[in-house]
Amino acid sequence: MSTVPDEQGHFGPYGGRFVPETLMAPLEELAAEYARARTDPTFAAELAAILRDYTGRPTPLTFARRLSGRLSDEAEQPIRVYLKREDLCHTGAHKINNTLGQMILARRMGKRRIIAETGAGQHGVATAASAALFGFACRIYMGREDMRRQALNVCRMELMGATVVPVESGSMTLKDATSEAIRDWVTNVADTHYVIGSVVGPHPYPMMVRDFQSVIGRETREQVVAAEGRLPDVLVACVGGGSNAIGIFHPFLGDREVAMIGVEGGGYGPPDQPHAATLSYGEPGVLHGAMSYLLQEEGGQVALAHSISAGLDYPGVGPEHAYLKDSGRARYVWVSDRQAVAAVEALCRLEGILPALESAHAIAHLFRLAADVRERGDAAPAGRPLLIVACLSGRGDKDVETVQEALRAREASA
């Protein structure tokens, strides 16, 4: 079904391989090994077994009854919302779908040293857990600022035997951690596999990570059809690098009637205030090995992103999202820090689910969708409710302190 990327990893004008020469050979090796694994039934069987027995897949598709009621009231029309519960994956987020797949590949390539970058720490924890499971040495690069924001996850990674390396360059966040991981890989390329955590980076990563995350969409498709007897009208997911969004979107790309909305981190409010809404306000550029949309300044410098959610705090975005935006197949919007925090509260109170701040961006957009429906009055085809699936990509335990701080600040200013 999918015709992108091409052999060189291009999604239209995006993607590709913009990396130092030293990495070209290992990327070719990885692409070749992944191509073999993709058609190898033993690889598929091993991955399926580990996703079932270790990760706890399939994850539930939960009907959010009270949230749906609230949104229906808001819209003055029936809305039914299902949540794809990636927060129930082992380690607390969808990230582990990808890290386990890459770990099997690393073992096939004989690489026993694993490195990764992390922002919120969810990818770092998933990598650390997967490396422990496979008995690999593991080193996680994390910006010093993110280590402060996500102290709990630092502790979890260290408990699982990973070394967490503080990155002090630049903005000390995900962008800088990624550069540092690339430097490590260039230096230790012979025995090291770099587990990129999102659908970003040079080919084959955007394609490979997409494939590993597509399990989210494949399950969703079956589950929503079983529950409602039809495909959803709208899919909503947050977008930092964009791996959970691509994961849930991808198996539906051929279904023209299914709308797709990616929700970016709007920070303090773009375009004038610091934000991380790359697809909404960026321009094409090259960062970390791929051509995509990029937040940038004059002279081609990469701009600093801001989002309350460390996982969305990245000035780049996966090349396939750039492609989907340009083609009009998916639509990209943003939600501010403040709205994301309000969505955390709402989901906690209405459903008893504490979402990660990243995932809360998707939830926050549901309220805007409901308001739009009321204004335009054109929801789903007559006679049936608007059916939405939102990807709840991770749980929010890691964010409790950040949310508490934000709530206190809100009260103080009220």
Partner 1 sequence: MTAHETRLATVFRALRRQHRAALVPYVTAGYPSLEATTHLLETAAGAGADVIEVGYPFSDPMADGPVLQRAHHAALTRARETGHPIDMPGVLAAIHAYVAAGGDESSSTGAPHPRPPVVLMTYYNPVFRHGIDRFVADAVAAGLSGAIIPDLPPEEARALVDATRGTDFSPVFLLAPTSTVQRIREVAELTRGFIYLVSVAGVTGIREAVGDQAEVLVRRVRRETELPVAVGFGISTPEQVARIARIADGAVVGSALMSILLSGEGSVESVAAFAALIAAMRAALGPTASGAASAGES
Q: Stretches 14-22, 36-44, 219-227, 361-369: which one binds partner 1 (CB under 8 A)?
A: 14-22
Residue 412 is a binding residue for partner 1 (CB under 8 A):
no
Q: Stretches 17-25, 52-60, 247-255, 305-313: which one binds partner 1 (CB under 8 A)?
A: 17-25
Rounded Cα distance between 261 and 252, Å, is 12
Q: Which of residues 335-394 bind partner 1 (CB under 8 A)?
A: none
* β partners of residue 262: 237, 332
Residue 163 is a binding residue for partner 1 (CB under 8 A):
no
* β partners of residue 166: 142
What beta strand segments (E) does 61-161 contain?
61-63, 79-85, 113-118, 137-143
Choice from 94, 156, 175, 325 touching partner 1 (CB under 8 A):
175
Least distance CB 261 / partner 1 (angstroms): 28
For the CA atoms of the chain, what is the radius of gyration? 20
Choice from 298, 352, 381, 382 touching partner 1 (CB under 8 A):
298
Residue 124 is a binding residue for partner 1 (CB under 8 A):
no
Catalytic residues: 95, 117, 393
Choice from 26, 124, 251, 355 touching partner 1 (CB under 8 A):
26
Choice from 86, 87, 145, 176 touching partner 1 (CB under 8 A):
176
Residue among 120, 58, 63, 47 at smallest CA distance from 86: 58
Residue 8 is a binding residue for partner 1 (CB under 8 A):
yes
How many residues belong to the site for partner 1 (CB under 8 A)? Answer: 39
Mention every residue, 6+ apart, whose C-beta is less than 8 A from residue 103. Answer: 114, 130, 131, 133, 134, 136, 195
Q: 186 or 259: whose CB is closer to partner 1?
A: 186
Q: 87 or 320: whose CB is closer to partner 1?
A: 320
Residue 291 Cα distances to 31, 258, 271, 319, angstroms: 18, 27, 22, 7
Rounded Cα distance between 218 and 220, Å, is 5
Q: 39 or 301: whose CB is closer to partner 1?
A: 301
Residue 56 Cα distances to 96, 100, 103, 312, 358, angstroms: 11, 13, 17, 25, 21
Q: What are the structure tokens assigned to 385, written together? A: 């409710």
Q: 323 or 367: whose CB is closer to partner 1?
A: 323
Q: Stretches 115-123, 234-242, 291-299, 362-370: which one binds partner 1 (CB under 8 A)?
A: 291-299
Question: DSSP class of residue 276?
Answer: B
Residue 133 is a binding residue for partner 1 (CB under 8 A):
no
Q: Stretches 22-30, 150-158, 360-368, 371-379: which one binds partner 1 (CB under 8 A)?
A: 22-30
- Asked if 392 and 86 count as a contact pair (C-beta separation under 8 A), the reply is yes
Q: Which of residues 204-233 bind partner 1 (CB under 8 A)?
A: none
The alpha helices in 116-232, defined as continuous H runs, are 122-134, 144-149, 151-159, 174-187, 205-213, 215-228
Q: 210 or 288: whose CB is closer to partner 1?
A: 288
Choice from 39, 42, 301, 413 touching partner 1 (CB under 8 A):
301
Residue 115 is a binding residue for partner 1 (CB under 8 A):
no
Residue 104 Cα distances to 43, 160, 193, 413, angstroms: 8, 18, 11, 50
Characterize the bridge pairing of strands 79-85 and 386-392: parallel
Length of the chain: 414
Q: Stretches 128-136, 265-273, 289-297, 318-326: which one binds partner 1 (CB under 8 A)?
A: 289-297
Residue 267 is a binding residue for partner 1 (CB under 8 A):
no
Choice from 229, 254, 300, 381 touching partner 1 (CB under 8 A):
300
Question: DSSP class of residue 173?
Answer: S
Q: Stretches 20-28, 75-83, 120-128, 364-372: which one binds partner 1 (CB under 8 A)?
A: 20-28
Q: 32 or 155: whose CB is closer to partner 1?
A: 32
Least distance CB 106 / partner 1 (angstroms): 17
Mention every residue, 6+ apart, whose C-beta is less than 8 A from residue 5. Answer: 11, 15, 203, 206, 207, 319, 320
Least distance CB 117 / partner 1 (angstroms): 12
Residues at the interface with partner 1 (CB under 8 A): 8, 16-26, 169-170, 175-176, 179, 182-183, 186-190, 284-289, 291, 294, 296-302
